[in-house]
Every structure is written in C-alpha cells, then in structure tokens.
Amino acid sequence: MLTDTRKSPYAKVSPVDGMAVTWTKGLWKERFETCAQSTVPQLQHMFESKDISHVLENFRICAGEAEGDFDGTVFGDGDFYKWMEAAMYTAAKTDNRKLLEQMEAYIDLISRAQQPDGYISTKQIIGERQGSGVSRMGDINDFEVYNFGHLFTAACLYQRLTGKDSFIKIAVKAADYLENMYAEASHTGEVQTAVCPSHYMGLIEMYRTTGEKRYLKLAEQAIALRDSVKDGLDDNQDRLPLRQHEKIIGHAVRANYLYAGVADFCAEKNDSGYRKVLDRVWRNLIDKKLYITGGCGALYNGTSPYGNFFEDQKVHQAYGYEYQLPNITAYNETCASLGGVFWAYRMFQIDPKAEYFNVIERMMLNTNLAAVSLDGKKFFYENMLRRTKKLDYELIWPLTRSEYILSYCCPPNLARTIAQSSEYAYNVSSDTVWTGIYGANRADIRLENGAEFTLVQQTDYPWNGEIHFTFENVKSDRGFQLNIRVPDWAENGFIRVNNKTRKLTAEESSTYQTVEVKDPAQTEVEVFFEMKARHTVANSMAEENSNQAAIEYGPLVYCCETPDADVETLDDILLNLNAEYRQMEMEIAGRKIQALEADEYCIRREAYDREALYQPLRFSGLKKQRVRFIPYYAWDNRGFGEMRIWFPIAYL
C-alpha cells in the first residue's frame, strides 16, 4: 500500500492494497511483467555501474568501503530509492527471493553510509570528508531533502511489504535529523527553499507507518516554513505564500510534488485554506494547462509571471501561461506527469470524484507509458507531441528514447509507478468499492462492514469498453456498494446487474454510478462503455492546435508515424471527418496493439517550397490516403521518423 489512509480522519476512501490485486491479462499485466523482467534489471545495472551512474559507488565511498570522489547527479540517491521501490514491489509480487535478499544488502549499505546524526546524502558526506568545500544544505539545488523524502517513502513501503524494520530504522534517524534542522530554522528564521518537496509525502507516510505524531507535525512545520523563504522563486512555487497560490506555475515536477504533499496533509488535518489552494491550482491545470496526453509542464524554459518583464523570473521545465501548449517542443517531463498521478491519487482520497481517476488514467495510459520503450529498456525524459524530420535548433534532450540519460530521475520513478499500477485499481470506504483504472484483475477485498470477497474483473480494456465483474470466495453475506467510474469520454453505454439494465448517456460521463450488491455470490455486473474513434479539438486559445484535431479511442490518444502513411511527410495529411476507422491488430516490438486505419486526405502539392517561411497559397486539391494510427504510448519503437498527434481538418 502506497498511501495508508485507512486511519486518516479526512480521507473519505482508502486504497485497496495493490498486493491484494493481480493483473490477470491485458495491457497492464504485460506492462507490469515487462517492468519486472526488463526495466528493473536494466535500471539495477545502471545504478550498479560506477562508470555509468556511480550511484551505488557513492554509497560505498560514504561507507568507507571504496575510495574516490563523488560522481553522478546530486539526486542520484533519491533515484536509487525510487528504483528500490520498483524492485521490492516486483520482487514481492513475483516472489523473487534473490532480489529481496539484494534489497537487504542495499539497505545495509545505506545504513553504513548514514552518519551518526542521521544525515544521509552522499555528495555532502563525501565532500565533508574530503574537505572540498561542499557542505550540508549549502545549495538548494543539491536536492538533499528531496533525497530524504524518497528514502522515507521507500522505507515505509518496504516495511509494509516485508514486515522488516531495517529500512525504517534508517528513515527514522534521517527524520530525526530533519526535525532538528527544522527546529533550528524555526528559531533563526533562516529557511531554504525545498526543491521538489518529496519529503512532505514521505514524512506523512512515516507518520502513518510508525504512528509517531511528530512526523505529521514535522510535515506541517515543513509546509509552513515555505512561507519564510526569503527571495523565493516561482521556479519552486515559493515566491508567494502557499495560501495565496491561484494558478499552477513554475517547475512542473516541483509543483506537482508540492501539491501532492499538501493533499496528503489534508487527509490528516482539516485545513480549509490548503484545500481551497489545491482546488484552485487543480482547476487551472486541468482546464488550461494539461496536454491531451496528460503531459504537464509545456516549456523547456519559461518566464513567470508571464508578460511582466519588470519582475519576471526564468523558470525551467515550466508550466507556461494558459493554453501555451506547443507540440514539437513540448517538454512534459515524465516525472511531472508521474507527479500528477501522485497528486490526483491523493486528491481522490480526500474528495472521491471521477475526474481524478479520469486524469490518472489519461496520464498513465498515454504520457507515462509512452515514456518507456515497449521492451522496457529505453526512456524519454521529455515527451513531445510531434516529431519532425529535423529541427533548426538544438534541444537539451534527445528526440528518441535513451538507455541512460544524465538526469536519471524519470526512469526509476516510472518503473516504480508501473510496478505499483495495481495500487490504482480500487479504493474502498466503509461499505463501498470504488473502481479506479480498469484492467483485467482479481482483488481480495475486505470492507469495514464485514463484507469479504474476491472481486474478479474481466475485460480487454482499454481496447474495448466491455467490463464484467463477479464475486468469488464470498466469506460473508453482507451486502455492499460497487461504485463504477464512468470515464469522461463515455457518452453511451449501460450497467447491467443480473439482467437489469441502466442506460448511460453523456449526462453520466465523469461520475460514479452506484450498484447495490446485496448477494455477492449471485451477482454479475456488466458494464459497457461504447468505444469508437473520435476527433478531439482544442480550445481556440491553444494556438498551435488551431483548426486541427486529434484522434482518441476510449482512454487512448492515437498518433501517426512515418511507417503508417505512404506520404512524403505527415504534414500533408488532413483528417477526413467522415472517415470510418477500422480497428486492426498489429505487432510492434513483439507487443500486440490495436491500431486504427482509415481513409484520410492528402493535399496535392505543386510549386510548394517546404523551406520557405511564407509563400503564395496554391491549392491543387486533395486525394484520399490510407492512414494508420497507433496508440501514442507505442510510438518511437520502429526507428526515427516523423510523428504527429494533431492534424489539420478537411471540412468537406
């Protein structure tokens, strides 16, 4: 269980432990298995190699078991803790005893590297030892507290999975160090920016795991101290006091981690001011700054506040202004959409609305899965929505996935989230099961009202909208409610309970529909969400998508790549609004996917200069062109070429 809110006074629902949920077939089963068999070992190799990441070597140097200088990224410690989450979760799920034994060895290494006062950050420990001038908390961009936060989260999960306290002991010592540091900061008023504040979530989970209220108090103190930062930055969301936040701005990962932590806090403490902040910035993101793929943070570099050059600040990996959603240069750091999942997940627990899981599903199935190759070994740091054959400018990250990138925060973050995907299947309240992301699974569930059963979900979702629920191993005759999430795209369908049918229309979209289950052993629930290809248009203020549309099918965003159309360039394709889309199975990188195929239009070009900035318009007509579209998550697995999501519309 990632967030144990079972005793949280202001959480209205709590997750079903993902260890009690097993994907039985379909996309999520395949992605979990690829993560366990390919991604986790691949990342382990990267972290073990002192010539690639140097991460474990840094711990060994700190422990006095190797010699050398610090090398690698300053957030490498935290990246390793994230990988440990992926490794321990997949090991527990698959009963990989060897990997679990390796976890204990890594934990022992970390304990030997930890300082007597609880401090644990390898760059600073090595720097202090060598007298290099590197000091603790001397540079906000050294990510020390961020590393602490991921240590806390991993340690809590490890205790829940294994029952062992070896990791949590390290986390307790580290939290004690933070407690002393924040006490001093409160006394002196000298407060540093908390860059990418994972420790809010980490400390609150420490409270839930240990029952020690001081960790909740410490989290509250850490959040409050943000307002004491001098000369704060929009990059870190601390230029303005937290309670004055109206919009989502600044570095996208840092923003999403911040609000995820505040949402976690609101499950434990009733703070109406923070709740209002969360609701305001959430609406600003969802209504005006979120990509169709669920990507977050549009810009490589931006300025904030935009349009006021007397007080603007440079922001990197930034949320831009409203509707600023470029496609070729879309940044969309993988960690930002992952942070969006963490935030939405925690918002759902304090306010269980279907919208939060609609967003989780959009992020998970599109941007998050697109960030890793189908074989599980290569990764995107940023996630563009359009790739051209060439660019006239240089971007910092490669235009294809890479096995290793210097800023290696995204791959282990992605790995742990895919490994833990079953955590997002169900939530429960006292007498109700709430569906989350859909996929074929079996879940052992026990409710507070005494109902106990195995919930069996059979479906080929996301390829079609038929979902079938039955109940096995019923150990109590207590009835309960099953809350069915109706996705925001579903405008036609039904819910049938033992042959009694309830119709679903657009009015039920993005709601939960309650099914009364009085006799579980004799109850079958059939759900049908009509899935068909649809054209989606953007707000007219999203200038880059003006007079264009994207193709979606169910919860999936589709794209087109060079191999999918026999044209000189994808830029010549126009969408046929009367096209009939045919679903077809195909294989990419050994994985079966469902593609869409249709007759679109291709513009006839005559005397057209593709290099000219401007030229006279010459129209020579359109011709029909067979075009295939694949799920966005499957792109960039067939070599380098063009890719587009948004296409001009032929209004014929």
Q: Distance between CA 276 and CA 278 in Å, rounded? A: 5
Q: Are 378 and 401 in contact (CB under 8 A)?
A: yes
In the DSSP assignment, the letter for residue 544 is G
Tell me, what's the pLDDT at 420? 98
Q: Distance between CA 572 and CA 601 in Å, rounded? A: 8
Q: What is the mean pLDDT of residues 375-390?
A: 96
Q: What is the mean pLDDT of residues 272-296?
A: 98
Tell me, what's the pLDDT at 368? 98
Q: Distance between CA 621 and CA 617 in Å, rounded? A: 12
Which top CATH class is 14-398+408-424?
mainly alpha
Domain boundaries, the chain: 14-398+408-424, 427-529, 535-650
Q: What is the mean pLDDT of residues 281-298?
A: 98
Nearest to 397 by CA among 332, 314, 327, 310: 332
Q: What percent of the chain has pLDDT over 70?
A: 100
Q: Distance between CA 31 and CA 23 in Å, rounded? A: 10
In the predicted model, is pLDDT for residue 307 greater than 80? no
Q: What is the mean pLDDT of residues 244-250?
A: 94
Is the Cα dihedral 365, 152, 276, 284 positive or negative? Answer: negative
Q: Distance between CA 369 and CA 556 in Å, rounded? A: 11
Nearest to 293 by CA among 381, 369, 370, 367: 367
Q: Distance between CA 75 and CA 122 in Å, rounded? A: 9
Q: What is the mean pLDDT of residues 549-574?
A: 98
Q: What is the mean pLDDT of residues 347-355?
A: 98
Q: What is the mean pLDDT of residues 150-176?
A: 97
- Give the model's confidence band at 334: pLDDT under 50 very low, under 70 low, under 90 confident, else very high: very high
Tell me, what's the pLDDT at 189? 79
Q: What's the token pair of residue 359?
A: 């967003």
- Name every residue whose Cβ is closer than 8 Å to that of residue 89 and which is 6 or more positions away in sequence: 18, 157, 161, 416, 419, 420
Tell me, what's the pLDDT at 37? 98
In the predicted model, is pLDDT for residue 193 greater than 80? no
- Give the model's confidence band at 131: pLDDT under 50 very low, under 70 low, under 90 confident, else very high: confident
Which of the residue ranges 124-128, 131-135, 260-264, 504-508 would you say has the lowest mean pLDDT? 131-135
Contacts 24+ apart (CB under 8 A), 564-570: 564/595, 564/627, 564/628, 564/629, 564/630, 565/625, 565/626, 565/627, 565/628, 566/625, 566/626, 567/602, 567/625, 568/605, 569/389, 569/610, 569/642, 570/642, 570/643, 570/644, 570/647
Residue 548 DSSP SS3: strand
Q: Distance between CA 90 and CA 96 in Å, rounded? A: 8
Q: What is the mean pLDDT of residues 467-493?
A: 97
Q: What is the mean pLDDT of residues 551-579?
A: 97
Looking at the DSSP bridge assignments, the partners of residue 485 are 512
Region for residue 602 given its phi and psi (left: phi exceeds 0; alpha: psi -120 to 50; beta: otherwise): beta
Q: pLDDT tens for residues 597-607?
A: 999 999 999 89
Q: pLDDT tens for residues 482-525?
A: 999 999 999 999 999 998 999 999 999 999 999 999 999 999 99
Tell me, what's the pLDDT at 302? 86
- Name every residue whose Cβ is closer than 8 Å to that of residue 523 and which is 6 or more positions away in sequence: 470, 471, 497, 498, 517
Contacts 24+ apart (CB under 8 A), 131-135: 134/70
Q: What is the mean pLDDT of residues 166-173?
A: 98
Fold type of domain 427-529:
Immunoglobulin-like (2.60.40)
Q: Distance between CA 82 and CA 414 in Å, rounded? A: 9
pLDDT mean across residues, the chain: 95
- Using only C-alpha atoms, what is the Rg of the chain? 25
In the predicted model, is pLDDT for residue 305 greater than 80? no
Tell me, what's the pLDDT at 545? 97
Prediction pTM value? 0.97
Q: Distance between CA 296 and CA 283 in Å, rounded? A: 13
Q: pLDDT tens for residues 527-547?
A: 999 999 999 999 999 999 999
In the predicted model, is pLDDT for residue 316 greater than 90? no
- Give the model's confidence band at 229: pLDDT under 50 very low, under 70 low, under 90 confident, else very high: confident
Residue 80 DSSP SS3: helix
